[in-house]
Amino acid sequence: MKCFKAYDIRGRVPDELNADIAYRIGRAFARAVGEGDVVVGYDIRLDSPTFAAEVARGLMDEGRNAIDIGLCGTEEVYFQTAHRGVAGGIMVTASHNPIDYNGMKLVREDARPISGDTGLRDIERMVEDDAFGDAVAARGTLRRDHDKTAYIQHLLAYIDVSALKPLKIVVNAGNGGAGAIVDLLESHLPFTFVRVNHEPDGRFPSGIPNPLLPENRDATARAVVASGADMGIAWDGDFDRCFLFDAQGKFIEGYYIVGLLAAQMLEKHKGARIIHDPRLTWNTVEMVESAGGIAVQSKTGHAFIKERMRAEDAVYGGEMSAHHYFRDFAYCDSGMIPWLLVAERIGKTSTSLTDMLVERMAAYPCSGEINFRVEDAASTVAQIVEHFRAAAASIENVDGVSMSFGNWRFNLRSSNTEPLLRLNVEARGEATLMEEKTEALRRLIGGTPA
């Protein structure tokens, strides 16, 4: 089925994903996971409550009890699944996809991800076969529990609230779900929040919330400058990613936040292991090793990162795409914990976000991720490798291809979720070199910028 992807479920409504398919997913999920209740939550898209209700109906027809946690973020389903010790969780969300899309993210016990090689294909087959039959005699029940108290207290446990300074912070929820959590946190924190696109609205009056796109950053940047804020935060629709802006309204590449958070977590967990993705690495590895930690590289993608974190018992994992994972958060990604940690660091060090990162950004300038649509991704990658092979000091194939040349490196990989090639380039202290090599790679890759 077209809506089943490598890591999750996403498709255009109603031809690729609809209420009937949602019901069948509920029934298939019940057969795919262990015994116990199932948490169900949903994002702000207009059809998400309907899809969540159909998922719950499918679960109940299989004899499962469904716990409806209501409008929430993906990380709340992760948290509630682990916190309650239930069989699994289903989040109805399409995150930053177009307005006519919806989807689901699935986890089993302890919020372990269900992806292509850990059960998602089995669920897909059952949904396609649609051979479920009548509902079981001992039908399950639906319980609504929208209390977020335990989740909010868990978020606050990551920081020393007494060390916080009274910062002014721009928060841009993108009309997604993050605003409600900011409101619940507010009474516990000494911050003044400047709210932008704060109210949840599945019509997306300000556009699809995806701050990774440069055109979606202006509203946050302008608000930071206009209000004289200390920092800005923007989230995607289901707020499992957060994006930071400094006091000048400058967008901070997620790559540098990974190193910052790694060092901060290592202050609290001496000698711990840190997981990172292969796209941009030098700054992260240096910051981890300088802080006495062990840097471990993993293939890109939440399922791979979470699996490696559990295997290594890593305290933190970070991807340059603004996914940040925490051991004490069931090894899952959160869009709330990172900005709280950064705010704590500002308070403890009396240092701005700019000053924290200016040396790191100068030491390892990077291109940010550049996407290309090409006719034959595999052939394009092979041609790039052949072009640079003779000059390369090292070649790695952990995820796509990473080639290093002493003072610069690049990673080129096919997207796991979209028909794209993704390029990242970094250099050692030479922004001009990074820019020159990025442009050279652009020309060699060709294709259409995406």
Report the catalytic residues.
95
Token code pair at residue 390: 């003779």
Angle of the 149-156 helix axis to the 74-84 helix axis, nearest 10 = 100
For residue 418, what is the enclosing H or E element?
none
Which residues 6+ apart lie within 8 Å of 404 measured at CB? 392, 393, 394, 395
d(CA 260, CA 288): 9
C-alpha R_g of the chain: 22
- 380 neighbors 400 (Cβ within 8 angstroms): no
Using DSSP, state whether 395 is helix, strand or coil.
strand
Q: CA angle 349-352-357, nearest 5°?
A: 100
Q: For residue 12, report the phi and psi dihedrals to the nearest 5 degrees.
A: -75, 135
Q: For residue 24, report the phi and psi dihedrals to the nearest 5 degrees.
A: -65, -35
Task: With CA atoms as reference, report the closest residue to 326 among 268, 377, 406, 248.
Answer: 268
Q: CA angle 273-402-374, nearest 5°?
A: 130
- 246 neighbors 354 (Cβ within 8 angstroms): yes
d(CA 364, CA 440): 19
- Whether the CA torsion 10, 11, 16, 21 is positive or negative: it is positive
d(CA 315, CA 303): 16
d(CA 333, CA 341): 14
For residue 291, what is the enclosing H or E element?
none
DSSP calls for 198-238: -S--TT-TT----TTSGGGSHHHHHHHHHHT-SEEEEE-TT
